[in-house]
Structure 1
Amino acid sequence: MRRVLCREFGPTDRLELVEEPDPVPGPGQVVVAVEAAGASFVDALIVRGGYQLRPELPFTPGTAVAGRIAAVGEGVDKRFGGCRVAALMMGFGAYASHVVVPAEDVAPLSEDVDAALAATALESYSTLLFATTHRVPITAGERVVVLGAGGGIGLAAVDVAHGLGARVLAVASSEDKRRAAREAGAEHAIGYDGLKDGIRAHTDGGADIVIDPVGGDAAEQALRALRPFGRYAVLGFTAGEIPRLPANRVLIGNRTVVGVDWGDWARTSPAAATALVSDLLARTDRGELHPPSPARHPLEEAGAVLARFAERAVTGKIALIP
């Protein structure tokens, strides 16, 4: 097998591609021959040591894979061998040609769903399905603003909110990203200049919901653009700065700020998380969700791919192909 190894936190160009014996599954485990692994901005943060989770070194980055079961361990039905599956690996390790996963953590993947599309959809769409089913339900007709709408999480938010009948305003930093957001279902797309007034102008006076994976300077402006009883969903801080939201602006208008931490929920509720992933893949197969087709890069380019994420130079998603 081949896998990417991070020996120390720092620049992504220090990642190594190593060869090792193929893994052997233990009791209750399966080995997945990886057809595609999802790469993300969070992976870049983790490798650079800038994320709240710091895995024990050395480690292999990545949390999302799609592929085919190559071997099964004791206690696992032998008929699973050869089945197509996808899985989230909350302990990392996805940037590899073969991974070992508990059998209960894999979700069935239709032969009709592209492996790269499935792997890159897992993290972003799982986050949004968790958000809209557990944290910030969206009602048809509501005005939903998505910050960072050209990235993986943002495009998933646009797609999911649009599918629920919301009227979506996308906010993104470039015309290419705004175009991608409109193609995903956004009614309008704007930049960050004059954000508060821009949101109010495109939402008939104020948003019902703001979905924010960005943080930074945009956060307070977006909060101020919420209408009474509006909800502000905090998904992350890709801008690199954690905002200090003014509590008086939450009080005024009975607004609500809601944290959305899919990863923590998935680690503490693995069975529920796997069920959500299964639902995501089934809905994708039925055409109810529309993840964008990702760019594809070989596994040996993992460092360069993560450098692009760190520079916020990626529109959409990227899959690593072992």
Structure 2
Amino acid sequence: MRAYVQAAPGQNPELTEIPLPAPAPGEVQVAIRACGLNFADLLMIEGKYQDTPSPPFTLGMELAGKVIAAGEGCTLATGTRVAVFSGQGGLAEAGNFPESRCTPMPDAMSYAQAAAFQIAYGTSHVALETRAGLAEGETLVVLGAAGGVGLTAVEIGKKLGARVIACARGEAKQQIARAAGADETLDSESDDLKSAIKALGGCDVVYDAIGGPAGEAAFRALKPGGRYLMIGFASGSQPKLPLNHALVKNIAIHGLYWGGYLKLDPQVLTGSMARLFDWFAQGGLSPHIGATYPMEQIPDALEDLRARRSTGKLVIEIDAQA
């Protein structure tokens, strides 16, 4: 089968042929139809991600497809459509994955939607509800609001009853955030983002997937008792947070690594995903897929992701046989 493999540290990954073994006990074999891309994929290529596997490995952290075989002890039936948080192995025509990582998809969900769903929506839901305790009537600022996780934070923030201020680069991206439900939008490259947020009344929660100066500016606009969610550093730099402000204003700083809950408290992820899939089935969530690419264009897709040219999630569509 074809797979996009990182053969050695420092090398560019390549689309190549690799064998497909039979599934081990506790594993199911999935014919992969779609794989969502994440900034973590870029970090893995550079060897900078906290959970980078030892090479050689196949890239692709989340996927969707159909079960085509099952190892001993598995209960998922052949033909079941599943979303899989794999951590690796998604950019391939097929793969073997622990059954515990596979979730049956809602009937109305496409493979592309499922591949774009788990990490982005899961991150925002656990961050906003479990970690920050975002309450109805509070004000949420979302940095990188037109990106893959940012748009889900806008949606879920509104679902939880918050007033959402979306920060994104340029009018086109701000318009996408408004379409997702944002009450107010700001240009994230404003000369004085802190003052712009304060002019709108300040905020109770900051959802920061960008980092850098924007993260610091939004942090400084938090109200007393506010919560700052550290999601990622898509800008390439970490924010220089004034911790004396956290002390004086009783601000809580929460780091959120969604995949880390597999070890920390897996029931949080299970319950969150069940609720999110239920919201989707009821028509309450609308995954935004910015673009889809065939396997042959994986390098182009990764470069679009790296350059932040995209909105929403980027998905690789794979012509797997099922």
TM-score (norm 2): 0.93
- Output the CA distance in 1 between the equivalents of 2:268 and 2:185: 34
Q: Equivalent residue of 2:136, what SS?
A: coil
Distance in 2 of aligned mates of 1:267 and 1:43: 20
Out of 127, 134, 137, the position equivalent to 2:133 is 137
The one-letter code matched in structure 1 to 2:223 is R
Q: Secondary structure at the match of 1:217?
A: helix
Cα shift readout 1:60-95 (whole Å, capped 9, x = no counterpart) = 111111111011111223x611011111013x1111
Instruction: Specify which of 156, 167, 173 is matched with residue 171 of structure 1.
Output: 167
What aligned pairs does 1:39-188 form with structure 2 within 5 A after superposition? 39-77=37-75, 80-90=77-87, 92-188=88-184
Matched, 1:285 2:281: yes
- Is the Cα contact below 8 Å between 1:105 and 1:274 reproduced in 2? no
- In the alignment, the residues of structure 2 paired with residue 98 and residue 125 of structure 1 have an alpha-carbon distance, to the nearest angstrom, of 24
Aligned match of 1:2:
2
How far residue 238 of structure 1 moved from its aligned partner, in angstroms, is 0.8
Cα pair 1:107 1:278 within 8 Å, conserved: no
1:36 pairs, out of 29, 34, 42, with 34
How far the C-alpha of 1:272 sits from its partner, in A, is 4.3
Change in Cα spacing, 1:294 to 1:32, as seen in structure 2 (3 Å) is farther
Question: 2:250 is aligned with what amino acid?
Answer: N
List per-residue Cα deviations over 1:156-208 (Å, max 9, x = no partner): 10010011111100001122211111111101111131101110112x2x101
- Of residues 285, 292, 297, the one that matches 2:293 is 297
SS at match of 2:176: helix
Contact 2:38–2:61 at 8 Å: present in 1 too?
no
Deviations along 1:274-309, one digit per CA (max 9) or x if unpaired, are 443333223212212222134211112111211111
Q: Matched residues, percent identical? A: 38
1:227 alignment partner, SS class: strand
Q: Secondary structure at the match of 1:99?
A: strand
> How far apart, in 2, do the equivalents of 1:258 and 1:54 lie?
23
Q: How large is the RMSD of aligned CA atoms in angstroms? A: 1.7
> Which string of whole-angstrom CA distances, capped at 9 and with x for unpartnered residues, describes residues 90-124 of structure 1?
3x111111121112221111231111011111111
| Aligned-partner residue type, residue 225 of structure 1 | A
CA distance in 2, matches of 1:76, 1:266: 19
State the alpha-carbon separation in 1 of the partners of residues 50 and 101 from structure 2.
24
CA distance in structure 2 between the partners assigned to 1:52 and 1:71 by the alignment? 31
User: 1:150 touches 1:178 (CA, 8 Å); kept in 2?
Assistant: yes
If asked which structure has higher relative contact order (CA below 8 Å, sep 6+), I would say 1
| Deviation per residue, 1:243-295 (Å, 9 max, x gap) | 22111111222222111121211244445434433332232122122221342
Name the amino acid aligned to 2:62.
A
Report if aligned partners of 2:213, 2:240 keep a CA contact under 8 Å in 1. Answer: no
SS of aligned partner of 1:258: strand
* Structure 1 stretches of 4+ moved >4 Å: none
Name the amino acid aligned to 1:16.
Answer: E
Structure 2 residues not aligned, in runs of 5+: none
- Partners of 2:305 and 2:314 within 8 A in 1: no
Aligned length: 316
* Segment of structure 1 superposing worse, 132-141 or 161-170: 132-141
User: Using the alignment, how far apart are the partners of 2:297 and 2:254 within structure 1?
Assistant: 36
